[in-house]
Amino acid sequence: MVKKMNVESFNLDHTKVSAPYVRLVGVTTGQHNDKVYKYDIRFCQPNKDHMEMAGLHSIEHLMAENIRNHMSNVLDISPMGCQTGFYLSVLNNDQFEDVTAALEKTLNDVLEATEVPACNEVQCGWAANHSLEGAKEIAANMLDGKDEWHIVFAE
């Protein structure tokens, strides 16, 4: 028996998942009954594939800016250090379909983007490390798997 760890994803068997997928990680309730819903949005199969850093960085900027046009109460969307996905945190909305609909619209925005927002030394911590083409490739691959986003584990 593996010891249960503090971080939910450290208790997830990454060999059993089937990317791409969207998975509710957990719900945190505040003292006024506000709820934060945290999602694991997995773009790449763990330990088989990953996003290259420049494209990942650009799709991070593009999704962070655009997803807020399609869904209210987005607290954060941030890349995983393993470069296989993102975490999304949403306040007071328990609708999985709202998340997948916003994600689809946001990825389509990426495909249509002509530039990476905030891609400069004033607004970003590594402005030289971007690839719009890389971001579009990542978005297209993720959209290709859209019908399987609700399936987290391999059969």
Minimum distance from CB of 86 to Zn ion (Å)?
14
Among 12, 36, 53, 124, binds Zn ion (CB under 5 A): 124
Q: Which stretch binds Zn ion (CB under 5 A): 15-23, 81-89, 103-111, 123-131?
A: 123-131
Can you state the angle between helices 132-144 and 96-112, rounded to 10 degrees? 140
Largest CA distance in the chain: 50
Minimum distance from CB of 125 to Zn ion (Å)?
6
For residues 62 and 115, give the distance between their C-alpha atoms in angstroms, rounded to a whole number. 9
| Residue in the shown chain whose Cβ atom is closest to Zn ion | 124
Give the number of residues in contact with Zn ion, rule: CB under 5 A.
1
Minimum distance from CB of 85 to Zn ion (Å)?
17
* Closer by beta carbon to Zn ion, 62 or else 142: 62
53 binds Zn ion (CB under 5 A): no
Segments in 113-145 forming alpha helices (H): 132-144
* Closer by beta carbon to Zn ion, 25 or else 118: 118
Minimum distance from CB of 129 to Zn ion (Å)?
8
